[in-house]
Amino acid sequence: MNTDQIKGSVKDVAGKAQRKLGEAVGSTEQQVKGAATQVEGKGQKAVGNVKEAVKDAHATTRKV
């Protein structure tokens, strides 16, 4: 696991919490901000996943 995966997961969870809080208090602004943070987190996590896949593929090809 790399830092992009970790930070992305944290942003995803924080965004979900912010979105749910916005729903609870009836704040469309907080819902939108939370959803945006979630999308940012999912994107960052995806970048981390790609980095890990490249690292793993590189390690595998070096063994051959």
- The domain ranges of the chain are 3-63
Distance CA 20, CA 14 (A): 10
For the cut 70, the answer to whether the pLDDT of residue 64 exceeds it is: no
Measured at the CA of 45, the angle between CA 19 and CA 49, to 5 degrees, comes to 155
Per the CB < 8 A criterion, the answer to whether 52 and 8 are in contact is no
- Tell me the per-residue pLDDT of 16-25, one tens digit each, with 9 for 90 and over: 999 999 999 9
pTM of the predicted protein model: 0.87
Per the CB < 8 A criterion, the answer to whether 47 and 33 are in contact is no
For the cut 90, the answer to whether the pLDDT of residue 62 exceeds it is: no
